[in-house]
Amino acid sequence: MTARSFLRFATAAILISGFAHPHTYAQAPADSKPQAFIGARLIPISGPAIDRGILIIENGKITAIGPEGSTAIPSGAARHDVAGKVIMPGLVDTHSHVGGPGGADGSAPIQPGVRVMDSLNPLDSGYRRVVAGGITTANVMPGSGHLLSGQTVYLKMRRPDGKPPRTIDQMFIQGADGKPSGGIKMANGTNSIGQPPFPGSRGKSAFLVREQFIKAQEYNAKIKSATGADGKLDETKLPARDLGLEALIDAMEGRKIVHHHTHRADDIMTVLRLRDEFGFRVVLHHVSEAWKVADQIAAAEKEGGVLGSSIILVDSPGGKLEAAEVSFITGASLAKAGARFAYHTDDWITDSRLFLRMAALGVRGGLSRDLALRALTLSGAELLDLQDRIGSLQTGKDADFIILSGDPLSVYTKVEQTWVEGRMVFNRADPSDHLHQVGGYSAGRDQSPYFCCFGGAGQ
């Protein structure tokens, strides 16, 4: 796509999506007064832990981090005594279904034009649990009942005016193009297999995907040929707009990452094969059997295009055939192969409040503590192209962090506070926040994710 035609698409997308005023989802201004968090053990992820450290934030950004004694506290800074606590970056959940996402419907197995952001309820109590679990950024996705169930959206758990957001656009993470950032959700294996028009086999699944991407390539070629050698666009040569194919072009040209649900080792290899053919950038999600093909995944990452894996751990294997060999060792085996990986909640498959636990189970499966904590933060950010903004405690990054009562990997540790862009968005000492952290009457979420068609039409 030429820069010009891309601009045309971008502008059109902004107009059509009703976001003619990008500032409506720009970062809300944070308190401008600097704040100093003094005395906690700091786990920056990007470097070694600091036993008694100082973290300074201002205007929603981290402005300083270092050991107590050698880190200056700006005059006029609000001081928080957090001695005895642990501070680490806000957790990044690379795969969540919180807020009642409803992507593609039952009419077709491939629906790239559908955006999950058009379905979310920001008032869903699920978002209260997300921050109670220390998660500050989440990739909210449609389900896995389709080969391609739509566009995902990356959300920040902001409280623009100290209150939970009332509109979803207050939560968007604005990309460089001025649009809400997100990826494309795809799936293979059994979830997306069903009755026609859904595929009935793995071979058919891959065929349908290839057919669609080839259509997008041809569509893209037409768009490109509408611009002459002189650089002039002949609008009469442009094909009719196709929102689905536009999204696939976004994927093939690297603007949107493909987030690909895939469990079995052979299904993982199929994703890599399709990536080779169409050149999209891809994150492998769930990867129950990644431990069987860790070397192949690592090799694919080196070749480029594969950003890494996003792992789910569950308390027992099975529940469906392709998860029968899910194992706590997945993280450790990918680490050994030199592959990049993060963890995710897949909320509601696992609860956002227990996200720290996921990494701890990875350690139980042989992973190092450092990599486990990285897999909850910076690695996740890398899998969303957000590593320049979030995922570690570094000067210049968003002031997204959590204050813990102790060791992040201990069952006894509590998330005491969650901060996003310089504002506290969760405080365990607040009765309402406490209710959402532990549960209780009226803490229930009000909307379940829409998981068409897996378990429904597809069965």
Partner 1 sequence: MNSKIQTQKLASSPLPAPPRLRVPFSVTSAFTLFLACAIATTAQAQVAIKAKTIHTMAGPAITDGIVVITDGRIAAVGPAASTQIPAGYETLTAEVLTPGLIDARGTVGLTGIFNSRHDSDQIDPSAPIQPELRAIDAYNPQEKLIQWVREFGTTTVNTGHAPGSLITGQTIIVKTTGNTVEEALVKSPAMVSATLGPSANEQGGKAPGTRGKQVAMLREELLKARDYIEKKTRAAKKKDDPAPAPADSTDKPTEKSPTPPTPPDRNLHLEMLADVLEGKVPLLVHANRAQDIESALRLKQEFGFRLILESAAEAYLLAPQIKEAGVDVILHPSMQRAVGDSENQSFETAAVLVKAGIRFAIESGYESYVPKTRVVLFEAAIAASNGLTFDQALGAVTIEAARILGIDQRVGSIQTGKDADLALFSGDPFEYTTHCTAVIVGGTIVSRVER
Q: With respect to partner 1, which residue has the nearer C-beta, 284 or 360?
A: 360
Distance CA 250, CA 244 (A): 10
CB of 436 to partner 1, least distance (A): 10
Distance CA 83, CA 390 (A): 24
Distance CA 121, CA 139 (A): 15
Is residue 448 near partner 1 by the rule CB under 8 A?
yes
Distances, alpha carbon 385 to alpha carbons 150, 182, 251, 347, 420, in Å: 19, 10, 13, 21, 18
Count residues near partner 1 (CB under 8 A). 34
CB of 407 to partner 1, least distance (A): 9
Q: What string marks each residue from 387 to 426 as x (binds partner 1 by CB under 8 A) or -? A: ----------------------xxxxxx------------
Distance CA 115, CA 247 (A): 10
Is residue 432 near partner 1 by the rule CB under 8 A?
no
Is residue 363 near partner 1 by the rule CB under 8 A?
yes
Is residue 204 near partner 1 by the rule CB under 8 A?
no
Residues 300-329 that bind partner 1 (CB under 8 A): 314-321, 323-324
CB of 432 to partner 1, least distance (A): 14
Provide CB contacts within 8 A for 240, sequence distance 6+. none
Among 364, 389, 394, 457, binds partner 1 (CB under 8 A): 364
Distance CA 51, CA 68 (A): 9
CB of 123 to partner 1, least distance (A): 15
CB of 343 to partner 1, least distance (A): 13
CB of 453 to partner 1, least distance (A): 16
8 Å CB contact between 202 and 191: no
Among 38, 65, 360, 371, binds partner 1 (CB under 8 A): 360
Long-range pairs for 193-199: beta carbons < 8 A, 24 or more residues apart: 193/458, 194/109, 194/145, 194/453, 194/454, 194/457, 194/458, 194/459, 195/457, 195/458, 197/107, 197/108, 197/109, 198/109, 198/146, 198/453, 198/457, 198/458, 199/109, 199/147
CB of 212 to partner 1, least distance (A): 29
Distance CA 307, CA 341 (A): 9
Provide CB contacts within 8 A for 313, sequence distance 6+. 326, 328, 330, 343, 350, 358, 361, 362, 365
Is residue 84 near partner 1 by the rule CB under 8 A?
no
Q: How many residues does the chain have?
A: 459
Q: What string marks each residue from 267 to 306 as x (binds partner 1 by CB under 8 A) or -? A: ----------------------------------------
Apex CA 417: angle with CA 413 and CA 421, to 5°?
135
Question: Counting beta carbons within 10 angstroms of the beta carbon of residue 407, is it exposed (0 to 12), middle (13 to 18) or buried (19 or more)?
Answer: middle
CB of 308 to partner 1, least distance (A): 23
Helix ranges restricted to H, 150-260: 202-225, 243-252
- Applying CB under 8 A, which part among 65-73, 148-156, 276-284, 438-446 lies near partner 1? 438-446
Q: With respect to partner 1, which residue has the nearer C-beta, 174 or 427?
A: 427
Q: What string marks each residue from 330 to 359 as x (binds partner 1 by CB under 8 A) or -? A: ------------------xx-x--x--x--
Is residue 16 near partner 1 by the rule CB under 8 A?
no
Kind plus residue range of the DSSP H or E element containing 330: helix 330-337
**Hunting for tokens 């820069």 — which residue is that?**
3
Among 368, 370, 438, 459, binds partner 1 (CB under 8 A): 438
Is residue 361 near partner 1 by the rule CB under 8 A?
yes
Is residue 444 near partner 1 by the rule CB under 8 A?
yes
Is residue 456 near partner 1 by the rule CB under 8 A?
no
Q: With respect to partner 1, which residue has the nearer C-beta, 20 or 438?
A: 438
Q: Site residues (CB under 8 A) for partner 1?
A: 314-321, 323-324, 348-349, 351, 354, 357, 360-361, 363-364, 409-414, 438-445, 448
